[in-house]
Structure formats: structure tokens, C-alpha cells
Structure 1
Amino acid sequence: MTFPEWTKPGIYGAFAGAVAVSLLGFTWGGWTTSGGAQEMADSFAAEQVTLAMVPVCLNLSKADAKRVEILATLQEASSFQRRKAMMETGWATLPGTDAPSRDLADACLAELALDGS
């Protein structure tokens, strides 16, 4: 069986076009793999849970009998140590978990506005 002379360049052209379309689609076209989409969805869900839990953290801080002392400790802590100090208060622990959440601690600190401004 003989193929026409244009077959080989046509196949190479189709292959090169498929590669070019794939590269453009994934870099500039907004295409993503299922793994990348799952990673983005997990990240978004974690952010939303953190934002939803900030009022709980603030309510825990308001209900704490040692609030004044804890806020003073947080205020005196350096900006690098504030997250750790907030995590030690227990206010940044999600209900049903044993360990405090770093993201919730950061969000709660931001809402408490302890930077003096």
C-alpha cells in the first residue's frame, strides 16, 4: 500500500498543531488537569472554612475570662511570635480538633487588629 506524498508532512503538521494547542491551552487558555483543579478546590474550601470560623475565634476570645491578659500578651509578642501565642490561647482550635489551626490563628489576629493601628 502506498501513501500519497503529502501524508508524512500532514501527520507531522497535525502533531505539531496538537502540541501547540495543548501548550497554549495549559499556559494561557486556563486549562487545568484534574489534579490541579482538585488542589485549587481544596485550597478554596480551606480558606472558606477559615473565614467561617473567624467569628467563633472572636467569640471564644470575648468569652475568655483571661481575655485582657491574653490580649496584652499577644500585643507584647513580636510579629513573628504572635501566631504561636494565638495558637496557645486555644481560640484558634477548630471545633472537633485537638490542634490549633495556623490559618485560623492568622485570620483571628487580623480581625483582632493587634498591630496598634
Structure 2
Amino acid sequence: MEIPTWVKPGIVGGVIGAIVITIIGFNANWVVSTSTAAEMADDQGKEVVIAALAPICVAQFKTQTPTNQTAQLAALKQESSYKRDDFVVDQGWATMPGSEKPTKEIADACADQLMKLTE
């Protein structure tokens, strides 16, 4: 049996096309490995948890008297933007109920939400 001459270029083109599509797919994140997918899912989970816990931090801030709230917001506004999470941690608002220590990520999200109250 004789193979037609057009088959070889077709096979070579198909193999090269598959390689190119694979390279583009991985580089454009159309296709990801299992470890990358797990890492992406972990990051998304952390973001959701932080978004859910930041309002608790704000609620802990709001347990203060209105006078204290105003003073604390003024002090928070005076802090530089990269130190606001430290201010929230120092006040104890980022320590979630049932937890012994604060979380910096929650403090950062909380500081952002508290800054919106100053506007």
C-alpha cells in the first residue's frame, strides 16, 4: 500500500499546530496544570474569606462610642496608606471572635472599608 504524498505535510502541520496550541494555551492560562489550578482556587478562597470577615472588623470598630469612632477615623486617616492595616491591628479590630491573633489581610481590607466611612 502506498501512502499519498499529501499525508506527510498534513501530519507535520498537525503536530506543529498541536505544539503551538499547547504552548499558547499554557502561556495564556487557557490550560493550567493541577498545581496551578489548586493555587488559583486557594487564592480565590482566601479572597472570599477576607471579604466575608472584613465587615466583622468594621462592626467591631462600630462598637465604640460615636465620639471615639470619629477620633479613631481621624487618626486612621492621618496614617500613611501602607500603615493603616497596622493601625487596625493595634486597635484590635482585626482580631476575629474566637481567634487569638489578628490577620494582616483582614486588617488591610478593614482599613479600606473604614476609609470609605471618612468620605
The TM-score range, normalised by the shorter chain, is 0.7 to 0.9
Structure 1 residue 113: Cα displacement:
1.7
Flag the structure with more relative contact order, 1 or 2, with Cα contacts below 8 A and sequence separation at least 6.
2
Counterpart residue type for residue 72 of structure 1: A
Preserved contact between residue 74 and residue 114 of structure 1 (Cα < 8 Å) = no
CA offsets per residue over residues 16-69 of structure 1, 9 Å max, x none? 554333212212360000100001000000000011112211110111455444
For residues 11 and 114 of structure 1, what CA distance do their matches in structure 2 show? Answer: 61
Classify the secondary structure of the residue corresponding to 2:82: coil
Corresponding letter in the other structure for 1:55:
P
CA distance in 2 between counterparts of 1:29 and 1:114 reads 34
- Residue of structure 2 in register with 1:111 after alignment: 113
In 1, the alpha carbon distance for the partners of 2:116 and 2:96 equals 21
Contact 1:57 1:91 in 2 (8 A): yes
Check conservation: 2:85, 2:111, Cα contact below 8 A: yes
Q: Aligned residue for 1:70?
A: 72
Q: Which residue of 1 aligns with 2:45?
A: 45
Which residue type is aligned with residue 58 of structure 1?
A: V
**Structure 1: distance between partners of 2:54 and 2:17:** 50
Q: CA deviation at 1:13?
A: 6.8
The alpha-carbon distance between structure 1 residues 110 and 18, as it changes in their structure 2 partners (threshold 3 A), is same
Identity %: 34
Gaps of 5+ in 2: 1-8
With normalisation by structure 2, the TM-score equals 0.71
Q: Would the aligned equivalents of 1:75 and 1:115 in 2 still touch at CA under 8 Å?
A: no
**1:80-95 map, 5 Å:** 80-95=82-97
Instruction: Identify unmatched segments of 5+ residues in structure 1.
Output: 1-8
- More moved, 42-51 vs 65-74: 65-74
SS at match of 1:91: coil
Partner amino acid for 2:108?
Answer: D
Superposed CA RMSD in Å reads 3.0
Does the 8 A contact of 1:70 with 1:89 survive in 2? no
Normalising by structure 1, we get a TM-score of 0.72
